[in-house]
Structure 1
């Protein structure tokens, strides 16, 4: 991935920040995005203000943000090799309490963000006859939990899983690979945001009896970015979360 250009949305904290760090360290050219200017600027400085990275503040649910990201990548680095659609929000809420504004929020940020940014990136990838899109879903699409009611964000993530397969089918002939990473419980600021004070208390959901670390998602993203013969797949990085249960 040296000198390859990678766009990462939701790159200011958590998994996105770790993915950016991982690719920057391996001499990829990285375009970082977040809607939070303060967090994004701080992350860029925390990573050492690297010369092989730039950032763009913007709401990924707006079609223009994806277009600006592609334009910036081409201006600075002359290519769009990998798009990692990491930006997303997630929080539990009982089904009967969900309101229209909840659905709008998750579908706008999670699905539209992934959809529009991919739509902006693919024309350049077609020109190159090469590219990789990596979407971030969740194992909960395939493994529902009664104690974690989250139909509003889950339906948006399920749509991303479906979108992955269809894009892989449409653009395989252009050598564009499209895959999803479905994380299990990963140590990140998201846990605290949704009210989980001790993320390690959820270790038992995984056969490995621990939660995941953000760098393990970054490793998976790097693998998919470099692979030339994987497309249309959902890769569970979840410590056995979807495979079985320890009792």
Structure 2
């Protein structure tokens, strides 16, 4: 292993955006620790799959331990794992509330705290939080209070961490997508979802991946919330 070969951690990595982020980092010769509840072992020796719920502190500890023991460093953390449940506010159950906050906030807290502790030792690192434009631009007909509560919190935490660690070589940014064409959205909903964006289409997974890669290479950018949302953040 050369000291130049970088290492990324990606949560929510078994499908959709997360799986594509893993592939994109491997294409750039990063070694990757990939996590999700259901992730399968990889045949690629430079991809370590760690199965488990990111909201569990012990899982986060295992991810960081694997990164350090196998690869010796952590350069980038992509907090991609997230839960989105669209319900009228009064229809959310206590279980909905607990599960959404567990993944979206607890999961972010545990893995980010542990990863930053290692990044501080090496004097460099980058965190990318995947949030949502809905946190800043609510859409009529898309009830999303708990997404706004949690992902809006991550937007605020992104700026706070960026300032806290700016002089320690650690950058912190966010990507706030619109509706992205992933397995989460059934094909029959695509027409309606496309209409939620001023550009008249849904986003592609590659749009989000490109934004993450841009931020990862943009050494003078920190505290940024990069909207990849077809114009949603500009208004409706």
**Structure 2: stretches of 5+ with no match in the other structure:** none
Distance 2:48 2:179 in 1: 29
Task: Point out the more displaced range, 66-75 or 3-12.
Answer: 66-75
Q: CA deviation at 1:198?
A: 2.5
| Aligned equivalent of 1:50 | 44
Cα-to-partner distance string for 1:138-196 (whole Å, 9 max, x where unaligned): 0000110120112123211111111111111111121110011000110101223xxx7
Q: CA deviation at 1:100?
A: 2.2
**Structure 1: stretches of 5+ with no match in the other structure:** none
Q: CA deviation at 1:205?
A: 2.0
Distance 2:201 2:73 in 1: 38
| Aligned equivalent of 2:131 | 137
Q: 2:197 aligns with which of 206, 231, 238?
A: 206
Q: CA deviation at 1:68?
A: 1.1
Distance 1:61 1:155 in 2: 17
Q: CA deviation at 1:219?
A: 1.1
Distance 1:150 1:204 in 2: 17
Matched, 1:109 2:103: yes
Secondary structure of 2:87's match? coil
| Aligned partners of 2:134 and 2:144 also within 8 Å | no
| Aligned equivalent of 1:21 | 23
Distance 2:161 2:233 in 1: 24
Q: CA deviation at 1:207?
A: 2.5
| Aligned partners of 2:135 and 2:147 also within 8 Å | no
Distance 1:106 1:158 in 2: 13
RMSD value over aligned CA atoms?
Answer: 1.5
Q: CA deviation at 1:22?
A: 1.0
Distance 2:93 2:142 in 1: 17
Q: Which has the higher contact order (CA 8 A, sep 6+)?
A: 1
Moved over 3 A (4+): none
5 Å matches for 1:108-187?
A: 108-187=102-181
* TM-score w.r.t. length of structure 2: 0.94
* TM-score w.r.t. length of structure 1: 0.90
| Aligned equivalent of 1:34 | 36
Distance 1:153 1:208 in 2: 23
| Aligned partners of 1:107 and 1:153 also within 8 Å | no
Distance 2:95 2:52 in 1: 21
Q: 2:61 aligns with which of 53, 60, 67?
A: 67
Secondary structure of 2:195's match? helix
Cα-to-partner distance string for 1:18-65 (whole Å, 9 max, x where unaligned): 1111111121111100011xxx217x4xxxx22321110011001111
Distance 1:41 1:70 in 2: 18
Count how many residue pairs are aligned between Structure 1 and Structure 2.
233
Q: CA deviation at 1:244?
A: 3.6
